């Protein structure tokens, strides 16, 4: 990992003729930084951006304030288009998630993709766990899959839209095992949990921190974790591989981009700021509290990640029968 | 901790001078945000979040909640005075509130709205305090099929919102349903009726349509010259500006049913205060002894929805605090705030943080009293707005409407949309199409579509799921009964004719 950062930094230095580590080399945001997110207040990206804004202030990483701007709609398309319009604007950044990559695959109107914006850094990978209601008969993911095989299409999973990570995990599991179960989309995270707790669906893919409280209260049981390594909060729950399902653990990814057409030194500045942020104690605490994984990657690494992630998602969505336009 | 000692403890927390101050700041801010069309509580709370990190969590929670329920008080003001809905939950208030203002009873309407808000706000807190945990469990019995039938029940209210022609009302409702379908398909994420416009991907915001059809449509209609002088009658003297005893008597039932219905609908995470206000208005009209007065300035038509949208706040806090499940934009931001302060909202939240919970409950009693004391004296003041001559007032309404719409999304596209809907609203007025059914269809359309499709995914395409679940079937039956009301009225009229 360290080696990769060093080599990527070296490559960037060669490209831009900069001396690294970049220390802001002259560029500094001149007024309040706009941080664009694609969810309304309270959504995942919104909360992350506000938390980052607070930490920036607390750790004095930015000379100016950071203000969150909500541009919801179209699975990230509206926010991406807004950033594209701000071409060359030096005081705007955006917080992206995986849907900024998968959204344009299914929506013809989403003309701006992440490739059209300036990559800055990947910040976090959010792992997930597979949970059932505490009184459900399934003690392991094997139990659930066996039950799904016995009555195909009868068991149900609640989750987000068809391009969300929840459905990707389901598609991978179904393909791997041959079992079939129904997928019911709920736009709001709260509704998904309510559907599981109310016994209207049998299973869901949920973020560890969200599941944690329901497990502690004895309402939920976790069957497996969608991770490569066991999370510290769930030392006794097997990962997908350990549970006998050899499928990739798809993380929810979050990171930072800038509008197109900004100078290289600005990219270096932002990379530096976010790298410093990820080293702070407040950031480490934030990751631990939410059970996120540190997913820091610089601009070069992020660009590679785009291609790999988009390619993989395209394959999975195609197999799931989702109509793709790109 | 039992309820009484919990509450005593809560008052001890809420009456600390700092917390009392935060409560006051919250309700004042809330009133202001509510009065301004556009800018709503979720955005306000999100903007204030950074400040709350300098405060203790109890004070911060008390202030943010104050903004939430305070906004519901303010929302009715512009609905009544200017026909501009301040919040989505205040759209129904336009119907009778603005009609009252035109008759010179703006003060009475504003006063009744404040009193209904106070009664219902208090009922909401009592509900939150007494029955939160068991009720949250009941709410979990609601899933997609139940939400579908609840919204079908709401849609059936169209027969009560119709003016002279049922056909025109139904047509307006269908247009509303169609508008709700514009945007991105919630399941397949493909786009519908967007004509390649990126701005339409996120759908058409309900506030844009409501402000266009109600406020702009009204201004256009008034500019036709009918009101050369323009200003509406405002009686002199304080006594004539406040609700009369007869008004209060007329609203007895509205206060009670608005409060209770609003709270119960609030507890359901997938419903929301706009639906609560529409259903409460419909119920009030359905049981009223003078339904013909509704839409022409019936005071109950203000009290019921204003009550419902206030007690909904107490209800919406139930799933948030007892399960960590947010049901609306505002509660989602409150949830995020709790997480950022280091709490873990979930089933154990109340028992592990009794100080915060009971402090909040107690502060809501205090906050509601503060709001009543704040809002009642403002009534005569606000009513004076109507003395303004038309050539000043109408441009101001136009300005407020356009700024309000722009402040929600910051998009000029929405501003042109609001103008287009203003023209639609004007044409509807000219052709005698009622606007309320259009709004009703728009409010319910999205959720209803989602709920129906989710139900069918659950049942693998079998419609029987709607009939076999008891709560769902009961609400659908009720919806059918409501649809039969006009038929029943016609039969009754015919019977009377025959008897004569």
Host domain of residue A44: 33-125+252-319
Q: State the burial class of residue B306 (Cβ atoms within 10 Å of its Cβ: 0-12, 13-18, 19+).
A: buried
Give CA–CA dist B491/B337, Å, rounded.
Answer: 56
Residues A298 and A314 in one domain: yes
Residues A266 and A178 in one domain: no
Domain count, chain A: 2
Residues A115 and A179 in one domain: no
The chain-wide mean pLDDT, for chain B, equals: 88
Confidence grade of residue A16 (pLDDT, cut at 50, 70, 90): very low
Residues A215 and A292 in one domain: no
What is the value of ipTM here, to two decimals?
0.83
Instruction: Indicate yes or no: CB of A216 within 8 angstroms of CB of B139.
Output: no
Mutate to test the interface with A, among B40, B346, B412 (most CBs of A within 10 A): B346
**Final residue belonging to a domain, choices A210, A226, A242:** A226
pLDDT in the model for residue B431? 92
pLDDT at A301 over 60: yes
- Residue A140 near residue A275 (C-beta atoms within 8 A): no
Give CA–CA dist A161/B378, Å, rounded.
Answer: 46
- List pLDDT tens digits, range B246-256: 999 989 999 99
Position A153 in a domain: yes
Residues A61 and A150 in one domain: no
Residue B411 to chain A, least CA–CA distance (Å)? 10
Minimal CA–CA distance to B129: which of B272, B366, B315, B257?
B315
CATH of the domain at A46: 3.40.190.150
- List pLDDT tens digits, range B470-493: 999 999 999 998 888 878 878 888
Confidence grade of residue A11 (pLDDT, cut at 50, 70, 90): very low
**Residue B325 or residue B307, greater confidence:** B307
Cβ-Cβ contacts under 8 Å, A163 against chain B: 189
Cβ-Cβ contacts under 8 Å, A33 against chain B: none
- Restricting to A residues 191-210, those with a Cβ less than 8 Å away from any Cβ of B are 191, 193-195, 197-201, 209-210
**What tokens does A145 get?**
């899959």
**Residue B271 or residue B478, greater confidence:** B478
CB pairs under 8 A between A and B: 173
- Residue B144 near residue B423 (C-beta atoms within 8 A): no
pLDDT in the model for residue A186? 85
pLDDT in the model for residue A10? 44
- Restricting to A residues 106-125, those with a Cβ less than 8 Å away from any Cβ of B are 106-111
- List pLDDT tens digits, range A145-167: 999 999 998 999 998 877 888 88
C-alpha to C-alpha distances, A186 to A189, B144, B205, B238, B445, nearest whole angstrom: 7, 9, 20, 51, 16
End-to-end CA distance of chain A: 32
pLDDT in the model for residue B225? 65
pLDDT at A20 over 70: no
Give CA–CA dist A51/B39, Å, rounded.
Answer: 22
Residues A68 and A83 in one domain: yes
Confidence grade of residue A25 (pLDDT, cut at 50, 70, 90): low
pLDDT-above-70 percentage for chain A: 92
Q: How does DSSP classify residue A242?
A: T
Residues A146 and A185 in one domain: yes
**What tokens does A100 get?**
């900024």
Q: State the burial class of residue A225 (Cβ atoms within 10 Å of its Cβ: 0-12, 13-18, 19+).
A: buried
What is the mean predicted confidence (pLDDT) over B365-377? Answer: 92
Confidence grade of residue A119 (pLDDT, cut at 50, 70, 90): very high
Instruction: Indicate yes or no: CB of B458 within 8 angstroms of CB of A188.
Output: no
Cβ-Cβ contacts under 8 Å, A41 against chain B: 42-43, 45-46, 329, 332-333, 336
A282 — contact with chain B (CB < 8 Å)? no
Helix (H, G, I), strand (E, B) or coil at A92: strand
Give CA–CA dist B295/B298, Å, rounded.
Answer: 7
pLDDT at A192 over 70: yes
**What tokens does B302 get?**
């203000």
Which residue shows structure tokens 């799933």? B319
Pick from B189, B324, B344: CB nearest A161: B189
**Nearest-5° Cα angle at B338, B334 to B344:** 130
Position A286 in a domain: yes
The chain-wide mean pLDDT, for chain A, equals: 86
pLDDT at A188 over 80: no
Instruction: Indicate yes or no: CB of A184 within 8 angstroms of CB of B142.
Output: no
Buried b (16+ CB within 10 A) or exposed e, B129-142: beebeebbeebbeb
**What tokens does A87 get?**
């071409």
Position A310 in a domain: yes
What is the mean predicted confidence (pLDDT) over A275-287? Answer: 92
pLDDT in the model for residue A3? 43
Mutate to test the interface with B, among A92, A104, A181, A200 (most CBs of B within 10 A): A200
**Peptide bond connecting B104 to the previous residue in cis, omega within 30 degrees of 0:** no
Residues A205 and A66 in one domain: no
Residues A222 and A140 in one domain: yes
Position A12 in a domain: no
Give CA–CA dist A113/A130, Å, rounded.
Answer: 30
A51 — contact with chain B (CB < 8 Å)? yes
Give CA–CA dist B147/B119, Å, rounded.
Answer: 27
Minimal CA–CA distance to A158: which of A91, A107, A205, A215?
A205
- List pLDDT tens digits, range A232-278: 889 999 999 999 999 888 888 999 999 999 999 999 999 999 999 99
Q: In what order do the strands lie in the sheet with A293-297?
A: A66-70, A33-37, A92-97, A252-258, A118-126, A293-297
- List pLDDT tens digits, range A67-76: 888 887 777 8
| Range in A16-20, B10-14, B229-233, B466-470 with the lowest mean pLDDT | A16-20
If residue A253 lies in a helix (H) or strand (E), which one and from where to where? Answer: strand A252-258
pLDDT in the model for residue B226? 56
Cβ-Cβ contacts under 8 Å, B321 against chain A: none
- Residue A97 near residue A284 (C-beta atoms within 8 A): no
- List pLDDT tens digits, range B166-199: 899 999 999 999 999 998 787 776 778 888 787 7
Residue B126 to chain A, least CA–CA distance (Å)? 24
Instruction: Indicate yes or no: CB of B270 within 8 angstroms of CB of A188.
Output: yes
Cβ-Cβ contacts under 8 Å, A217 against chain B: 346-348
pLDDT in the model for residue B230? 55
Which residue shows structure tokens 């801010």? B29
Which residue shows structure tokens 């991105």? B184
Position A231 in a domain: no
Helix (H, G, I), strand (E, B) or coil at B375: helix
pLDDT in the model for residue A179? 94
Pick from B45, B140, B199: CB nearest A198: B140
Give CA–CA dist B23/B27, Å, rounded.
Answer: 6
Phi-psi region of B66 (alpha: psi -120 to 50; beta: other; left: phi over 0): alpha
Residues A175 and A312 in one domain: no
CATH of the domain at A217: 3.40.190.10
End-to-end CA distance of chain B: 66
pLDDT at B304 over 90: yes
Minimal CA–CA distance to B119: which of B252, B269, B270, B22?
B252
- List pLDDT tens digits, range B60-100: 999 999 999 999 888 888 889 888 887 778 889 999 999 99
pLDDT-above-70 percentage for chain B: 97
Cβ-Cβ contacts under 8 Å, B319 against chain A: 190, 194
Mutate to test the interface with A, among B49, B189, B321 (most CBs of A within 10 A): B189
Residue A287 to chain B, least CA–CA distance (Å)? 12
- Residue B177 near residue B441 (C-beta atoms within 8 A): yes
Pick from A47, A78, A186: CB nearest B336: A47
pLDDT at A18 over 50: no
**Residue A103 or residue A320, greater confidence:** A103
- Residue A299 near residue A12 (C-beta atoms within 8 A): yes
pLDDT in the model for residue B300? 93
Q: In what order do the strands lie in the sheet with A156-159?
A: A182-185, A156-159, A203-206, A128-133, A220-226
Helix (H, G, I), strand (E, B) or coil at A157: strand
Instruction: Indicate yes or no: CB of B336 within 8 angstroms of CB of A46.
Output: yes
Q: Which chain A residue has the Cα nearest residue B183?
A: A74
Residues A117 and A138 in one domain: no
What is the mean predicted confidence (pLDDT) over B105-117? Answer: 92
pLDDT at B218 over 60: yes
C-alpha to C-alpha distances, A173 to A128, A142, A178, nearest whole angstrom: 14, 11, 8
**What tokens does B366 get?**
């205090």
Minimal CA–CA distance to A61: which of A320, A310, A282?
A282
Residues A169 and A193 in one domain: yes
Cβ-Cβ contacts under 8 Å, A108 against chain B: 191, 196
Mutate to test the interface with B, among A86, A183, A190, A326 (most CBs of B within 10 A): A190
C-alpha to C-alpha distances, B394 to B95, B101, B385, B417, nearest whole angstrom: 19, 15, 12, 19
Position A283 in a domain: yes
């Amino acid at each position: 990992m360290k080696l990769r950062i060093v080599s990527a930094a070296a490559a960037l230095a060669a490209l831009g003729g900069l001396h690294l580590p970049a220390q802001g080399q002259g560029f500094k945001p001149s007024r309040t930084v706009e941080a664009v997110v694609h969810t309304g207040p309270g959504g995942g990206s919104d909360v992350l951006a506000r938390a980052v804004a607070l930490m920036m202030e607390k750790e004095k990483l930015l000379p100016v304030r950071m203000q969150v701007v909500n541009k919801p709609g179209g699975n990230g398309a509206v926010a991406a288009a807004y950033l594209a319009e701000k071409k060359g604007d030096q005081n705007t950044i955006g917080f992206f998630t995986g849907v900024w990559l998968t959204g344009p695959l299914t929506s013809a109107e989403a003309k701006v993709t992440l490739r059209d914006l300036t990559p800055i850094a990947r910040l976090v990978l959010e792992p997930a766990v597979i949970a059932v209601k505490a009184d459900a008969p399934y003690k392991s993911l094997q139990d659930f899959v066996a039950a799904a095989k016995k009555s195909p299409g009868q068991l149900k999973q609640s989750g987000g839209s068809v391009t969300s990570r929840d459905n990707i995990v389901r598609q991978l599991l179904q393909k791997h095992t041959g079992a079939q179960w129904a997928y019911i989309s709920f736009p709001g995270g709260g509704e998904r949990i309510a559907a599981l707790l109310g016994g209207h669906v049998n299973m869901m893919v949920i973020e560890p921190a969200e599941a944690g409280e329901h497990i502690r209260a004895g309402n939920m049981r976790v069957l497996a974790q969608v991770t490569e390594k066991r999370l510290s909060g769930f030392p006794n729950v097997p990962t997908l591989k350990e549970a006998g399902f050899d499928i990739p653990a798809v993380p929810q990814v979050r990171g930072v981009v800038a509008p197109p057409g900004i100078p290289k030194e600005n990219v270096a500045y932002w990379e530096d700021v976010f790298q410093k942020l990820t080293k702070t104690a407040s950031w480490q605490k934030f990751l631990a509290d939410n059970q996120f994984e540190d997913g820091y990657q610089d601009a070069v690494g992020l660009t590679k990640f785009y291609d790999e992630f988009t390619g993989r998602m395209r394959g999975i969505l195609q197999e799931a029968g989702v109509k793709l336009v790109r | 901790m039992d309820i009484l000692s919990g509450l005593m403890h809560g008052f001890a927390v809420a009456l600390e001078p700092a917390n009392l101050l935060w409560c006051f700041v919250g309700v004042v801010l809330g009133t202001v945000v509510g009065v301004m069309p556009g800018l709503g509580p979720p955005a306000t709370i999100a903007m204030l979040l950074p400040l709350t990190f300098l405060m203790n969590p109890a004070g911060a929670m008390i202030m943010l909640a104050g903004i939430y329920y305070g906004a519901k008080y303010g929302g009715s003001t512009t609905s009544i005075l200017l026909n501009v809905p301040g919040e989505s939950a205040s759209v129904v208030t336009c119907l009778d509130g603005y009609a009252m203002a035109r008759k010179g009873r703006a003060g009475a309407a504003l006063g009744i709205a404040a009193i209904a808000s106070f009664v219902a706000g208090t009922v909401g807190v009592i509900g939150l305090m007494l029955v939160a945990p068991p009720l949250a469990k009941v709410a979990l019995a609601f899933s997609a099929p139940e939400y579908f039938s609840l919204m079908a029940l709401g849609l059936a209210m169209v027969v009560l919102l119709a003016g002279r022609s049922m056909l025109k009302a139904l047509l307006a409702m269908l247009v509303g349903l169609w508008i709700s379908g514009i945007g991105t398909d919630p399941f397949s994420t493909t786009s519908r009726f967007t004509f390649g416009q990126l701005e339409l991907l996120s759908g058409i915001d309900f506030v844009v349509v409501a402000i266009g059809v109600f406020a702009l449509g009204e201004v256009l209609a008034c500019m036709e010259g009918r009101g050369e002088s323009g200003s509406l009658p405002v009686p002199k003297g304080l006594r004539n500006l406040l609700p009369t005893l007869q008004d209060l008597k007329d609203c007895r039932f509205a206060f009670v049913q608005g409060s209770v219905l609003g709270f119960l609908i609030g507890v359901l995470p997938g419903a929301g205060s706009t639906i609560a206000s529409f259903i409460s208005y419909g119920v009030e009209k359905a049981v009223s002894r003078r339904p013909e007065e509704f839409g022409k300035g019936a005071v109950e038509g203000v009290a019921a929805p204003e009550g419902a949208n206030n007690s909904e706040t107490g209800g919406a806090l139930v799933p948030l605090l007892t399960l960590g499940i947010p049901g609306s934009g505002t509660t989602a931001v409150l949830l995020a705030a709790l997480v950022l302060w280091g709490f873990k909202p979930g089933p154990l939240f109340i028992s592990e943080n009794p100080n915060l919970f009971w402090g909040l409950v107690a502060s809501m009693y205090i906050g509601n009293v503060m709001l009543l004391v704040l809002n009642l004296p403002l009534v005569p003041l606000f009513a004076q707005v109507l003395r303004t001559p038309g050539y000043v007032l109408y441009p101001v309404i136009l300005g407020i409407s356009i700024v309000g719409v722009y402040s929600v999304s910051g998009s000029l596209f929405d501003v042109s949309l609001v103008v287009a809907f203003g023209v639609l609203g004007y044409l509807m007025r000219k052709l005698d199409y009622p606007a309320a059914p259009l709004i009703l269809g728009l409010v319910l359309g999205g959720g209803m579509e989602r709920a129906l499709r989710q139900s069918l995914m659950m049942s693998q395409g079998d419609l029987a799921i709607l009939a076999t679940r008891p709560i769902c079937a009961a609400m659908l039956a009720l919806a059918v009964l409501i649809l039969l009301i006009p038929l029943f009225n016609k039969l009754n009229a015919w019977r009377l004719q025959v008897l004569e």
